[in-house]
Amino acid sequence: MQLLKDRILTDGVVKEGNILKVDSFLNHQMDIDLINEVGKEFKKRFDHCPITKILTIEASGIGIACIAAQYFHVPVVFAKKAQSVNLDGEMYTTKVESFTHKKVYDVILSKKFLGPEDHVLLIDDFLANGCALLGLIDIVKKSGATLEGAGIVIEKGFQSGGQTIRDMGIHLESLAIIDSIADGKLTFRE
Amino acid sequence: MQLLKDRILTDGVVKEGNILKVDSFLNHQMDIDLINEVGKEFKKRFDHCPITKILTIEASGIGIACIAAQYFHVPVVFAKKAQSVNLDGEMYTTKVESFTHKKVYDVILSKKFLGPEDHVLLIDDFLANGCALLGLIDIVKKSGATLEGAGIVIEKGFQSGGQTIRDMGIHLESLAIIDSIADGKLTFRE
């Protein structure tokens, strides 16, 4: 998606250790016009799929999923990190390791909101090692729903998550894939 | 907002201890059509204000803020709970007590995304004791921005948060105010 790649080049910041920060438009401050274009692009790429629900994980994925859901006309369900005392009843649970926060989260989703009748599109902002996405895939599997695919805004192609997900035969669409970050310079996959 | 009150009466569930759950349409599964109407209503109620940014707090507020932001044509910024190693640079920080999770969070916002030139609308899903909203108000104060008001989807009018915020002279708009929950029955404020 050229608009997104251009924006990453303009406003993305490469920090020490070749870490890409896109917090000025994607995951701290959110440019809603850009995210609308992202939502339209996901709709275009999964237009043939009979999606009934969009599943994401808190926190950064929620806004992108909600904007995208407007084009699919389906509800969003978001998996929550750690147990909340207000989340009662039956839950699907899985574990997700966060490299950002250096810890393992319990991730939960109420069984009321996902079942065998559902056709699910996963949406998230980033795909790197794939832990969050693998957690969501595990939840979909446990629910008996059909996984239609996964839409990612930015994939770090030099980490293993994308390859792992594609090797599972899952329809993965990443709107920008970064193949390398070296000396502050990004290279996108064609 | 009648549409919202009707939905709370239809799909809200009152649990033991008179706890209202709206997780089927607002804060776990999200009905995007309803949240669009919520966004339009916030725009109507703050239409005279020169809003430049919508500020919310992760996680449930983010989707509502993003949908609402489409009507204001401004970016969303969300405050984050607890320090992330990828969030560098200068931060506004405050502390928020969560009754749901029975703990105190550090809440942070990058200084890059809020400053004296901004006119801020706060948006969140729930207002009960007001801790989250008071944390966001503290961040706005620290940033030197102008606080234009706060838009809340559901206020628990029988808890003290709403009164506290209104007593501070802040323009608070709650789209549904529940004055009591007794024996499973809700009473809305007129």
Tens digit of each residue's pLDDT (9 = 90 or more) over A5-43: 999 999 999 998 888 999 999 999 999 999 999 999 999
Contact A31 B75 (CB under 8 A): yes
Residue A89: the pLDDT is: 60
Position A184, amino acid? G
Grade residue B105 by pLDDT with cuts at 50, 70 and 90.
confident
Mutate to test the interface with A, among B30, B71, B81 (most CBs of A within 10 A): B30
The answer on whether B129 is annotated among ligand-binding residues is yes
* pLDDT above 70: residue B88: no
Residue in chain B closest to A34 (alpha carbons) equals B75
Tens digit of each residue's pLDDT (9 = 90 or more) over A81-93: 875 555 556 899 9
Interface contact A11, partner B, CB < 8 A = no
Give A34's strand partners.
none
Interface contact B28, partner A, CB < 8 A = yes
Contact A76 B88 (CB under 8 A): no
Give B121's strand partners.
B54, B149
Contact B88 A15 (CB under 8 A): yes
Provide, for chain A, the percentages of residues in helix, strand and coil under a 3-state DSSP scheme, each rounded to the nearest 5: 30, 35, 30
Nearest to B112 among A24, A31, A102 (CB): A24
Residue B83: the pLDDT is: 57
Q: Please list every residue in chain B whose beta carbon sits closer than 8 Å to the beta carbon of residue A86.
A: 19, 21, 100
Residue A86: the pLDDT is: 53
* Secondary structure letter of residue B113 according to DSSP: G
Element at B139 (helix H, strand E): helix B131-143
Backbone φ and ψ of A168, nearest 5°: -80, 0
- Which residue is it, tokens 């640079």? B89
CA–CA dist A23, A26 (Å, integer): 5
Contact B79, B55 (CB under 8 A): yes
Contact B76 A63 (CB under 8 A): yes
Backbone φ and ψ of A48, nearest 5°: -80, -5
ipTM, two decimals, is 0.95
Residue A44, judged by CB atoms within 10 A of its CB (0-12, 13-18, 19+), counts as exposed
Backbone φ and ψ of B7, nearest 5°: -70, -40
CA–CA dist A152, A144 (Å, integer): 22
B1-81+89-186 under CATH 3.40.50.2020, yes or no: yes
| Residue B4 tokens, joined | 């919202």
Instruction: Tell me the whole-structure pTM to 2 decimals.
Output: 0.95
Output the average pLDDT for chain A.
94
* Secondary structure letter of residue A75 according to DSSP: -
Contact A56, A78 (CB under 8 A): yes
Percent of chain B with pLDDT over 70: 95
Contact B77 A102 (CB under 8 A): no
> What is the per-residue DSSP string for B43-59?
HHHTTTS---EEEEETT
Contact A101, B67 (CB under 8 A): no
Tens digit of each residue's pLDDT (9 = 90 or more) over B114-170: 999 999 999 999 999 999 999 999 999 999 999 999 999 999 999 999 999 999 999
CA–CA dist A107, A94 (Å, integer): 5
CA–CA dist A147, A137 (Å, integer): 8
CA–CA dist A20, A34 (Å, integer): 18
Cα distances from A159 to residues A11, A102, A128, B103, in angstroms, run 22, 17, 5, 35
CA–CA dist B75, B56 (Å, integer): 11
Cα distances from A94 to residues A47, A189, B182, in angstroms, run 29, 31, 36
